[in-house]
Structure 1
């Protein structure tokens, strides 16, 4: 036996402890959430009014609380407790069916709700009381006794139904008092409010701080799920005490939280390496252990220094006692394993409505002389060391912890058995690199996807099996129990039994490349490329590697549609034979169409330039050799030629200039003298400024570096590059080159087989053969599509397109992320297609448009020579989506999949040519055709690995928004991250937060029910369909059709330049530049030449506003400029235009149509 210290604690109810704090310090802040604060006086006033309203209905018993994570949640909890009732938490994140089941088990009649809770429980037949409801009468003490229920926390139950743990007021009061002593929590403290309301850790950080007079820094839904935002939240709220689950410890940076002095963790074993990370400089690290049935805490251990073994769970907390016993309830010797029994003030009353289970788990204490003393059988297997220190070994029953949540395997089995097409079910827990997961085995006719959907609607996400196998029968042991080991072995060896090796030479060659690309030991005939870890970008790399090896015209759609080795090989066998595919060498350097577009945007609006900055920042810990780092950066620039490009123009035509190799500057900013908190704030400010500093394409090298010194062994390396020379894939290549050169010197970087200029030349050659046919496909495909996607904004759209950026983000939990991948596999799609379909449904509901065009980037690295090359290999493809309210989610995913495959099959028509074909170039308030971008990164975030150093990415906010809205999807550590970068001149943060929450809900509900109709997943907001323009091909007006000819000298000058640039014999004063075959790049050339010809200072945007000869001439004349441009200049322009037309006619006659 071990007994914790016996301490006195107040004989008062929790609401009265909080009222005492309010009486002493009414103006002290009780709850803060960013800019929202609630004082103790305000909190107790609102809670007292709510308590009076609840008491008005009669003596309360149990009352539910269902509210979002705002300060009103704390008001609801305190109000229910103050009424004398016990609260039952109903977590809004649970499936509605689970909420209804808990409400029914608890016998609830009343639930206190905010707006979110009201929507979730609207059809449950419960009395829903708003948090702000008020009764009459003065505030009064809590009428509950010490033995009355304070709260009922529902946990997973082995019987297949959730079990409610009843915690009395005495136990709650003892716990909040003990925790304040343990964590040194007082009126000066700020405690992070992090835990979910349905998890017993919420008592630690949503209730206990109030009894101590501390401030709760209440993390909202996005703050809890976004590591970057959580870090900033804790820093800005100056959190001093935090309960952080073990999974959260590795994703936060302790150095950036100087105010945090006490770290509490628990719910499952923390990694021992976290102790050294979090301790030091006086910070305490406490490992708490205790089941819900002991009011959160039964033992604790304070760790310091370095650990390389599991942390103990410690010794008993104050007013608690523990025993370690064998199966006959006899104490075991020190060092022997046994079940942990717990007793003391914190014990629960038992399980709600389950007297038999209560009697089974809460047993008389045979070791105590106190009448009525009880012990709780925890089911935890532990051992006690010679010093009395307890160590956790595992479970003696079928209960497991998954991501900190206690799961009864029996409950999962019971839910599976309730499916009408399931005969028998067995579930096992298996450990893996990603943690513990559930594997289910069932007999019957149901499919795994049907069962996943069934479970997701009835269980918490942690309880949905990660893998479900349908078997003919469940094998049994001689005891009659299911042989789980045999089932698990069957799963582990099934792949070997079903493996079919490559059967033909072409299959063998594809399998070799496939295996090397994805890091696999082997690939079988029936293996699916995407099931084995492939995605759209690795599919492109597979094609790039196979084309020269097979000498076949294999295309990306052959992989996307074929999927299996057998089918891909069949398609490759049927493909045309290729000639020599060596890249065409490009000297002097030319620009790709995408680079030309970025050059134009800088001319159109200098503010746009920063929106195309890419900023990488890495925190480097360890002894850094700054000179070696600069030498390595110089070696990278010498190898990657595009990093030495500039993009000036000659007579309005942009071109590239390659500067000679030279030392890369690495300026150092020393922040080490600043206090820790100021240092991090200054670093964030300087990184933000670095991100927003624009490049001048004509004169600047288009990447730069800076080193921030934070201490002797801590630095941050910032690399900023313009998108014109860098894309997302380039980051991994840059990091690999930098690591090699830093470790082994510049000679470690061998010359690349080609240059970026070679890529442009090779691509131009490919497009010479396919551009016209691909453009014809795009114009046919998009004919009649809306060219504007008007997502309703919070502010009027500016007269000119702006690029101010805002940011929002949210996470899919690991179960939902795994479900996303499985759902995609089941439909023969990719996760990108699932996200695209969901995004389209959300946008359709918000805009009233059932048809829309979204842009998505396409990577063009289709030759092996370009795989290791830094550069801009991106085009924007306009995707046409349709939303059918009655169509199923699965149907929308298939449509999105087919749209992506079709678009990728026609890569040779750049967006600029598509826009030009529809005459859409004259936009001034928004980007033409594509205003919303969809971008899913199908590769892991690269890691910088410098010898002797550890590197950790430092997030930097986007410096600008190139589109109205860009949705990013990126998977990190098994969780899908959804991020929105948006134009903050149009949208507010709250609007984008709500959009992402809706999107997450659509994804989760859609993958849970493939047949769910779109109208149910994303209900229409009742907006009328907006009147928007639609795409219609506008062929260039022939030279023979002339409207009214120019009259004034300025009109003649403008017309002459138009003819020269467009290669026309004549234009009329009412001709529209874009209807006449002009595009944005040609318009920039017109601007340059008119300014030189007339000595004016026209902006490109002026030409977009006045797109006819007459209107631009009138603008020039009305601006107060003279109109006496020389006849000689006009005549020279006409002669140049005639000469250009003659050259084009000659080229057409000898080579075919010009590209």
Structure 2
């Protein structure tokens, strides 16, 4: 018998609002709802909801109250206020036509609707009492946390909401969900999806769709935050991606059609992905589960309070996903048409029972009796089952698989649609004789096609349906036919209609007339599966909808190189208009300039060339080594041909770098066979074979490139057996970076399979020229920022070593590694979210504390790699696109770990927002180029990889990475952080002339302790967290060199009123008699804690909203006073800083899926 029950999960016998009230009482200042800068705490949310509830109760008892408002934070307060009043809410989605909203209001018998101005316009003339949505509350006193219900306690069996779905009679039907079912659902979902107070949930679904219960009500019941997406951000995939990233969303219900549009790599905080309503593409599983993210397929109709079964998918899938097993407190049966259970493996209708069942349909007792039947199987008196109408099969492994619909109810774009209702609306047109509707497969999922008889045109019928039904219920195509063919049973022969009838063309076909129209038409036709698209075709009439519009925009942006917006499709509609609007859109970035021959080098390449010339020993430190074990029958000739094809596509792999009179330049070699020598180790015993392989890989890695004469990448194939090989590639960093590995692997796989590689839109030489143009435009401004930012910073970070530092810098490498456990890694992410930071910022803060303690410095400079692939043409290109960016950290024993994390976050944001002063220029500006004993300015590198490891997938072969030790250490030490399978790996590559492995193991152990304790208790200070400074080591003499300072006139007295005010506060806090206008606060004895004191006193004195970070950015009296004088109001100050932060964030977002801190790989 195909039946199953979910686990028994206790849930409170309480109303939903009681759960939210509990969080308002225990954590009132936690963020409940956020939409960009608008934030509602639980205190504010419950205050607004409580006031609305009191107003509703004062107006008299109303069992059902409508809510109709645009997607704004106070919408949530409206829903909660209705629930708190003791009524049930009826969602009225403002995206629906007014006629549809009026129908729902009539069916529900509504008298009162809570609405905003948008809702008021839509409901005008409906004869309803319209109550305004609450205003966003101002600051609420700590004692003002009203209960969400007053008077007598209201039971859990009362109605919570009535959700209207499509009805076969042409009238919508209202599903009645009680508080008990709602409370059970939010409890169950919290367990399934790990919803906690730390969760930030994406509020994406329409309130008229039951997924909104997942998005809004469930997170609030868990004490989490709802990141409510606005209408504009919801409609545009690029804006939605940015919204999720900026709001640090951790859990999201993503409709299946959106899964391929969003970029998982750009959403590192998103750890749980929920999907459902339709079957997700199996290819999305591997894409979204990379990096340990959870992927849950949820299944359930509105009548079972959202959920009946669920399935967690992992790994790679090539088959439809199951709908899984029953959720907690639910039971399912698979039955035949007579409601008799069938055996496993036999298809049947899914019957669902348990705690989540609705009470029935509002005002429809006969329909309720038909769909909600007695449960003869459970033995529980009064138990009921809901006949879902879904055709499923239960396999022997217990997993349920969805096969389709028993009746004519279908899912369109994730929404349930009764075909009969659409037919009824078509027949209501006075010029329609008969109508039939079918659901057919389209490129974006199921879509409706309609057939009518009579005089009404397809355009007139399209307008008629669109005015009365939601977008998902409007047929993609309406064909007017002479008569409807019938089967012998008298039913309409829909299969014949679908097969024989094509789209009606009421106007002559006009082919695309411009290049832009041709491009748009090609993408349009591909998305919707059309043979052709004409200039006057309407995107939505040909089967498009909001999701495919988003996909169209996403595809057009890189093809047209224009900032195409979703509004261009929604408002343009026709091919002619969309192409015209797209052509008028802003250009995405500058076109790469044409380069000459021979091309110049980038500043970073020039630095590597000088290092190679100055110290040949340094060369191996800049080798990047990759090795892959290949199991299976390898075609060596195909591999050679593929390597040659890759070198032809990526010109930089054919560069050599000679010089003329000491000036390096690039020479491009012609396309030719790429050498692939073979070393046969197959005759050796297994253990000796692996030892010899490791030795030869190390030798390959350490081999020097002669930049002037050698190809700057080389290969070797090791034959270990007939069907086992290891392919190794060593590339010089001048032509290759960490992100290039993914491009190399993808192109190699394509070429190995025999497919041609298309030419790239630009070359690396174009990048060098484009970068030079950009640098010319903004280099002075960025250099000015850096010289001020680093003014007074130490140029040496000398971590005590085991041996004295040699007179000249050396580069031999040693290696140490350690793991953070899964629990600590999860805590690290939670801590980062809680403090508005990234895991990178947490690691940086902890690393800074350890370095400070070991080196005995409270201020230090270290470096981090930053990717410079800011133009779309350079994204798919192999090359060296990495700059080293210095980071200035100030540590103070009395400052909390949380404050150190926030400071590290701000430093990363500020540093990465000023990319046009590369390390080479800073070294020159500060007069540090003559150092020989150590790397100038940056001796310690911090590098976090927050992208998935590339995989080599050659046809017919299984690839597995082979670790190869780093061939050299370009810095004293480099900390790498990489997360794999839910655990953070910390690795240090160090200069083995300075440090023993045992000392680096100690440093990693200290770092693990600081991270573990810091994320568990953020109020612990740096002094409490940092390890003992009693490290026995050989220390170099403390360097006294500091960045060269310009003479601004030290001792210059303050001149303006603001300068006098700033100076007076500084004197008070620092205990000095006087300070000069050009004195640096931190050089004058100030620290993080005293900076907070200055901030608070200046805010009180000047009535400004100065932030602590501003004192770090403007550390002199004159700089800070100029900043204050340049902003007229506190609000403008916030806007100015926010603009700077967003610009920096936008730059980072363009490379987020490649990791903003990606760079020097070993």
TM-score range, shorter chain: 0.3 to 0.5
Using structure 1 for the length normalisation, give the TM-score: 0.46
